[in-house]
Structure 1
């Protein structure tokens, strides 16, 4: 039944041009944007990058104006209504539960390519990871079970409450996973001010995390320029940024919104706004203007019949991206280490 409906939809929608179809409210954000801008200016001066890359002249990625906050109040309200449903594996977030089969190995394997230390049973031991827009902790928990110290942040307080309650039942997570109801810009302002970024060691200064994860998050944000800048601020030099999101194509509109939301009800209606989707090319351009080097981009495909995800060569719908923060103090003997490695791409091709 689904396949017949799907085929009819594809014939009519594939060539159709789509119509214009996470934090607390901006007034509640306690971040010091002037401090964030100052930190970016200093970084640009140290790295020799032109001032034209500052937020006053943001990378052109969409028609949306820069808001200096990642927060979209409408998105907050939407996820507030779903805060109690995160751990229902057959409910609205079933596809996110299934996505762990791909995104957890993708993060683990790429981090192990960068950090060569081996800890049997806990391969990510000793690493600090920030899970941005963590929701109920669906990705935070498995990363903690791999040995990493993980801070999950989300602007929806009820989602953080759900995450804290769920993780409290697992003694193995109590010393590895913690949560905060805050925005990325609030956390980055703390980093810039030497506040430790939620659990960092005193005296380390800005850049507390070995990795930042933003899985199925950027398509819900108000300002991607602010997001990229803040990710750079909280990461250590050479730290990794992992993103999974949805491409901005006719096919992603047909499958991600029409089929997933309106036909099959895989996700609640209104979850996605096609205008907020971003292509891999645009995302790479944005990240590189904020001090990142993109290492790999891999397509992802969801099968609504089996409920499983698989890797694919096509990035036309969903994709995963791994980028590395360019070191603040690049040295000649690190040039090879900082350059993209083709073999990193291959690390993401297994399920």
Structure 2
């Protein structure tokens, strides 16, 4: 069963007292043979393997002079996985139930931070006049509520079936006709890395919620986000931290024990700490404004804000002025940049 050490770690970090609900989670996991020691050992082995692969890759780059970025954010394995789930986006009790519930936090997080930046208030439509891109929009779970707040929202996703589902669902709401649109494409295609200059400097904000942990190249992602945003534009990210606790809860408990999400949904090697993400964004012309911890209760199905970022977190960053960005990076520099 879960050890007392794990319980102290879990509740101590969040300043919470064990409730009957959470105790039920630990008990259920314990009955299936969960071992915190085994989790730590497995995670340590993964870290060592990742470090060895990273060192081998760096040695290869030094000797060959090869480019370190793929110029594509899309991981083919992730593409295939979400292709199989495309028809489940709007099942609020299904595989994406946690994402539906997350709207209670992420929609106000985006709205309130944008209002702080733009200082404009439109009765009933607080985000009117703003253009937002929802990267990795899936079936439009976040795209639609942002559109209802008055923003002009473009949802993009490389899975065409997901885009078809999103378009079909939004078509049933006449209020979204003029505010929400979708396109089956990648961020780099829209930003101009692959196709001209079509998306450069067009958006007031980008939202990438539960996306970066599925991408193939975060350097390309950050570079393209800067490209499509206006100076002073906002970037909103929600993702999973790379800690022992996140491995235990997001993969062992959520996928393998409680099966809240399909097995194989997450790859711990792709998780990123807030510190690493902040360094990446700052090297690509952003200034991080805030980082806030999030926690999901699988028994109640509800999300809440927390002082700890040990598991999930939300980040808000702002694109610096063109002059400041030019002094930080250039497209040709991006080709040889390495994210450590």
Structure 2 length-normalised TM:
0.79
Establish whether residue 172 from structure 1 lines up as the match of residue 175 from structure 2.
Answer: yes
Q: How many aligned residue pairs are there?
A: 281
Query: In terms of mean alpha carbon deviation, does 181-190 or 104-113 score higher?
Result: 181-190
Over 3 Å counting, the alpha-carbon distance change for 1:171 and 1:190 in structure 2 is farther
Partner residue, 1:222: 216
1:120 equivalent in alignment to 2:145: no
- The superposition leaves residues 106-161 of structure 1 with CA deviations (integer Å, 9 ceiling, x where unpaired) of 00000000011110100000000000000000000000000000000000000000
- Quick one: which of 12, 25, 28 aligns to 2:37? 12
2:132/2:153 contact within 8 Å kept: yes
Q: After superposition, where does 1:111-190 map in structure 2 within 5 Å?
A: 111-189=114-192
C-alpha distance 4-125 of structure 1, shift in aligned 2 (>3 A): same
The offset of 1:3, in angstroms, is 2.9
What secondary structure is seen at the aligned counterpart in 2 of 1:178?
A: strand
CA distance in 1, matches of 2:91, 2:211: 19
Aligned residue among 85, 90, 112 for 2:93: 90
Name the counterpart of 1:242: 236
Paired with 2:259 and 2:175, the residues of 1 have a C-alpha distance of 35
Structure richer in helix, relative to its length: 2
* Aligned partners of 1:6 and 1:259 also within 8 Å: yes
Q: Secondary structure of 2:138's match?
A: coil
* Partner Cα distance (1:142, 1:282) in 2: 30
Aligned with 1:72 (options 67, 71, 75): 75
Q: Distance in 2 between matches of 1:96 and 1:13?
A: 29
Q: Distance in 1 between matches of 2:118 and 2:231?
A: 13
Q: Is the 8 A contact 2:29 2:258 kept in 1?
A: no
For 2:253 and 2:237, locate their aligned partners in 1 and report how far apart those are by CA, in whole Å.
23
RMSD of aligned alpha carbons: 2.0
Q: Does 1:100 align with 2:103?
A: yes
Contact 1:191 1:208 in 2 (8 A): no
In 2, the alpha carbon distance for the partners of 1:328 and 1:276 equals 30
Distance change in 2, residues 1:295/1:218 (3 Å): same
For the Cα contact (< 8 Å) 2:241–2:312, is it kept in 1?
A: yes
Find out whether 1:309 has 2:303 as its counterpart. Answer: yes
In structure 2, distance between residues paired with 1:191 and 1:113: 34
Distance across 2 between alignment mates of 1:122 and 1:324: 22
Give the counterpart of 1:253 among 244, 247, 252: 247
Q: Does 1:231 align with 2:225?
A: yes
Structure with more contact order per residue of length (Cα contacts < 8 Å, sep ≥ 6): 1
1:10–1:98 distance in 2 versus 1, CA, 3 Å? farther
Task: Please tell me whether the aligned partners of residues 193 and 224 of structure 2 are also in contact (alpha carbons under 8 angstroms).
Answer: no
**1:20 is paired with a residue of what secondary structure?**
helix
Instruction: Map residues 13-92 of structure 1 onto 2, 5 A cutoff.
Output: 13=38, 15-18=40-43, 19-20=45-46, 66-92=69-95
Cα shift at 1:14: 6.0
1: CA distance, partners of 2:215 / 2:261: 18
- TM-score by structure 1 length? 0.77
Say which SS state the counterpart of residue 315 (structure 2) adopts: strand
Q: Is the 8 A contact 1:191 1:207 kept in 2?
A: no
CA distance in 1, matches of 2:288, 2:282: 7
Aligned to 1:296: 290
SS of the aligned residue for 1:9 comes to coil
2:243 and 2:149 map into 1 onto residues whose CA distance is: 35
Question: Deviation at 1:181?
Answer: 0.1
| CA contact 1:214–1:243 (8 Å) conserved in 2 | yes
1:212-248 deviation digits (Å, cap 9, x = unpaired): 0000000000000000000000000000000000000
